Structure 1
Amino acid sequence: MYPPEPWHLRGQMFLSVFLIPRGRLPQLPPVLGAAVRPITFGGRVAVGAAWVRYEPGGVLHYQELLSAVLVHERGRPRVSIIDIWVDSVASREGGRRLWGIPKDLADFSIDTETEPLVDATATLPGRGTPIASALVRLKGRLPGRFPVGMTVAQALGEHVRRTPVRGRAGLRTANAAWRPDPDGPLGYLAGRRPALSLAITDFWLTFGRSAGDRARSAAERARPPADRERPAS
């Protein structure tokens, strides 16, 4: 029903970063909350909200709306996805079963035909209940292509699944006006202006580990701690 990991994906992302009070952040699942802590900036946490179009050329092509919080795990930066919707059953099932990403289904309109404006809307399927909309104005392109890298940490059953994401992309500056439904799941972003907005253009990403990487990681975890710390001869 869904491709095995890793997923090789291509597309466009329209990202805004919000700084919200720590107390407004939804609770992380207990097993995840025991392992990671939100990174705070003067009592506020950084939440990224993004519209994504995964395009043909990758293993799946679909649309997505997500919010994620910047956290750390014993000082190591991680990203934990709080809310996420897609318009692909294969993406939903793969995200949940492979990596613990809590994907749900939604209906999308992400109109990029009127560049430099991008008009995006997501609603709950069948009912038309709004989740959020946004109007993004694309601005200048930064020269070159830039590396993309992060580790996504999610609760998968009773464990924390840590998933590497690697790739490259172009960048454009942007302005964005977000309109989350105040009574909806993204209500904690309602009425807030982004601290930063970017377009991550023509990206390619590898999400997850190859079979060889997973085998090496399992072998490393199986080694006694003293062996892990012993330098190679």
Structure 2
Amino acid sequence: MGVAVSKGAAEGALTGFPPAPWHLGASGLVSVFLVDEDRLPGSFAELRPAGWRPFRVGGRVVVTVSSISYSEGGVLAYDEIVVATPVRRGASVGASVPQIWVDSEASRNGARALWGIPKELAQFHRTTTAKSVGAGMDLDGTAAVRLSAKIGLPLTPRRLKLPDFSLIQRFAGSEFVSRHFVVTGVRLARVSWAFGEGGPLGYLRGLKPLVSVAMPDVALVFGFETAARPV
């Protein structure tokens, strides 16, 4: 007697990663930095489609750095450091991801193929309590990121569905526009970051976040709609 296999499971077995959309659970920290454009690596422009421009405040580019842990129960479980910039083209707004690391080959391969997100592999460690987080990312055995966070008061009275957001990417000869949504609560956080000198995030050394928040209980539907075209 044969075993029935769902279309999604069959696709995942063939590709090594789940089909879109990805239903994920997570907890995360997000910090906002303001960075002089001449400090930014070339990937910020190279992986952003033509015509899209980064948001600026006081002449500096808005850059977010997030430490996220995706939990068991979603389609994948892994840790991640992601760097993003809000972008706009005319009245359209979105975000672009020039740098991102994970500790899951399935996450790396799927994100690249489905949405043009340039994930690389790294090693992570994390310790958490109800009121604190300590985490780090290593590349080839060298410390690239260290962070410590204190979690503060809630900014939202309960978990809320945030506005849908778009990621705008140029990767491997194609442009991708993908849509996602998040349900989460948001809390104040105080996050101290340390970035390895000479590492891929070294351009942030010496900068302090403008603001940081914690999202301790996130439900995310990633890539519920995607358009891709060759360029």
Identify unmatched segments of 5+ residues in structure 2: 1-15
Measured on the aligned residues, the alpha-carbon RMSD in Å equals 1.8
Q: Secondary structure at the match of 2:30?
A: strand
Equivalent position amino acid for 1:106 in 2 = A
**Total equivalences in the alignment:** 211
C-alpha offsets along residues 158-212 of structure 1, whole Å, 9 cap, x if unaligned? 2320111112101110001100112110011111110010001211111112xxx
TM-score (norm 2): 0.86
1:167 matched to 2:182: yes
In structure 2, what is the equivalent of residue 208 of structure 1? 223
Q: Distance in 1 between matches of 2:149 and 2:59?
A: 28
The DSSP-based 3-state class of the residue aligned with 1:32 is coil
Partner of 2:207: helix, strand, or coil? coil
In the other structure, the counterpart of 1:134 is: 147
Match of 2:161 in 1: 147
Structure 1 consecutive aligned stretches of length 4 or more whose deviation exceeds 6 Å? none
> Percent identity between the aligned chains?
38
Tell me: CA distance 1:92–1:50, structure 2 relative to 1, closer, same or farther (3 Å).
same
In structure 1, the gaps of 5 or more residues are 222-233
Aligned-partner Cα distance in 2 for 1:31–1:86: 18
1:72 — aligned with what?
88
The answer to whether the 8 Å contact 2:118/2:171 transfers is: no
Give the 3-state SS of the residue equivalent to 2:185 in structure 1: strand
Aligned partner of 2:68 in structure 1 is 52
| Residue of structure 1 equivalent to 2:29 | 14
Is structure 2 residue 117 aligned with structure 1 residue 101? yes
**Matched AA of 1:147:** K
Contact 1:31 1:159 in 2 (8 A): no
Amino acid at match of 2:89: E
